[in-house]
């Protein structure tokens, strides 16, 4: 581990004065927890006896909550439906102190909901309520005006693209132009299959599957040493050229991360997780910690280390989770032992 605990603590204290704007697809995550005691007589599926239900922000909203948990200031820009799920998501975000002024609520639209059924700490099934709504030209213009105002106050920006309609070329152009003028970092959590010109971002954090898919290469399979994985490195090189990005983090699940930077050899950072219960939302934690750290003055390697440690905390929790500064520092102490 290259970053010291003292340096990590200093950066985390700076998070309180940094404001990150998350632009992208807003979702509500619902969880139904229960137990399984029998198989259904109607079909070969488990019968889940529900014990409790909970909801939390998902998608771009979860990135905002991760930044708040780490101590940073967060604002979101995207679309919500004027429905029960949209009202619930907005309420959850407001009560997490996330700025929702740039969350446009559209009449006739329906908020995206992802519902997970979990029994005995195992996910049984996920049900997605995806309702893509085409924005009118008037709505798009209004959103761009709101976004321009929000960008003036941001110390960093994250583009959170799930391919659900919020990340369009005019939106990206405005973000990149404003960020370049103000000298603030822009992070990208990409989605395979959604082509937008993103040249000019600071850093991207695709997972292995996304990296190969977006690069247009077949994945030959996992290698023992990611830093010596020629196919993975080639995919990373293609993405850095495609996005004109000086930095790239390819997340590799249990293998940790592959860090790539312009003018330096690829570097493998092993996972800092002690236990893995659920990887849901781990990518959100990585991009949240990384961009907030860059906005706070960290260099690329420091930001990647902090993101890796935060992800190690999150995957040890069940469900879409986040990491606090206290948890991050405690995890660093435990890993060093």
10-residue averages of pLDDT along the chain (337 residues): 88 97 96 93 94 94 95 96 95 96 90 93 90 84 96 97 90 97 96 86 95 95 89 96 96 89 89 54 88 96 93 72 88 75
CATH superfamily, region 5-27+58-112+131-336: Ribokinase (3.40.1190.20)
In this structure, the number of other CB atoms found within 10 A of the CB of residue 152 comes to 9
Contact 333, 1 (CB under 8 A): no
The confidence score (pLDDT) of residue 21 equals 98
**CA atoms of 280 and 315, how far apart (whole Å):** 8
The confidence score (pLDDT) of residue 151 equals 97
The confidence score (pLDDT) of residue 277 equals 46
**DSSP conformation class of 318:** S
The confidence score (pLDDT) of residue 282 equals 76
In this structure, the number of other CB atoms found within 10 A of the CB of residue 42 comes to 7
Helix (H, G, I), strand (E, B) or coil at 249: strand
The confidence score (pLDDT) of residue 336 equals 61
Q: How far is CA 147 from CA 73, 161, 171, 256, 316, in A?
A: 17, 16, 8, 34, 35
Active site residue 284: yes
CA proximity to 8, closest of 285, 322, 297: 297
Catalytic position from the list 155, 189, 278, 284:
284
The confidence score (pLDDT) of residue 278 equals 46
The confidence score (pLDDT) of residue 224 equals 86
Handedness of CA 204, 160, 317, 254 (dihedral sign): negative
């Amino acid at each position: 581990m290259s970053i010291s605990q003292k340096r990590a603590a200093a950066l985390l204290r700076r998070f309180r004065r940094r404001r990150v704007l998350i632009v992208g697809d807003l979702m509500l995550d619902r969880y139904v927890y229960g137990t399984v005691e029998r198989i259904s007589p109607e079909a070969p599926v488990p019968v889940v006896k529900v014990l409790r239900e909970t909801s939390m922000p998902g998608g771009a909203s979860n990135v905002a909550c991760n930044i708040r948990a780490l101590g940073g200031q967060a604002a979101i820009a995207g679309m919500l439906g004027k429905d029960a799920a949209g009202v619930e998501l907005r309420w959850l975000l407001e009560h997490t102190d996330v700025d929702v002024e740039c969350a446009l609520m559209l009449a006739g639209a329906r908020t995206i909901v992802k519902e997970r059924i979990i029994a005995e700490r195992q996910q049984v099934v996920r049900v997605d309520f995806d309702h893509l709504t085409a924005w009118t030209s008037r709505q798009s213009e209004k959103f761009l005006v709101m976004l321009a105002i929000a960008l003036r106050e941001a110390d960093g920006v994250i583009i959170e693209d799930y391919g659900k309609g919020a990340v369009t070329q005019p939106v990206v152009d405005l973000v990149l132009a404003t960020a370049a003028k103000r000298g603030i970092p822009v992070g990208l959590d990409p989605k395979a299959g959604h082509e937008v010109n993103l040249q000019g971002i600071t850093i991207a954090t695709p997972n292995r599957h996304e990296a190969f898919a977006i690069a247009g290469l077949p994945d030959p399979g996992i290698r023992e040493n990611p830093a010596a994985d020629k196919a993975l490195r080639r995919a990373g090189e293609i993405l850095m050229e495609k996005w004109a990005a000086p930095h790239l983090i390819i997340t590799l699940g249990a293998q940790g991360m592959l860090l790539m930077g312009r003018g330096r050899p690829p570097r493998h950072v092993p996972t800092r997780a002690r236990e893995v219960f659920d990887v849901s939302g781990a990518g959100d934690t990585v991009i949240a910690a990384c961009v907030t750290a860059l906005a706070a003055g960290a260099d690329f390697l420091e930001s990647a280390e902090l993101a890796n440690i935060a992800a190690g905390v999150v995957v040890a929790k069940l469900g879409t989770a986040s990491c606090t500064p206290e948890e991050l520092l405690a995890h660093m102490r435990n890993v060093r032992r």
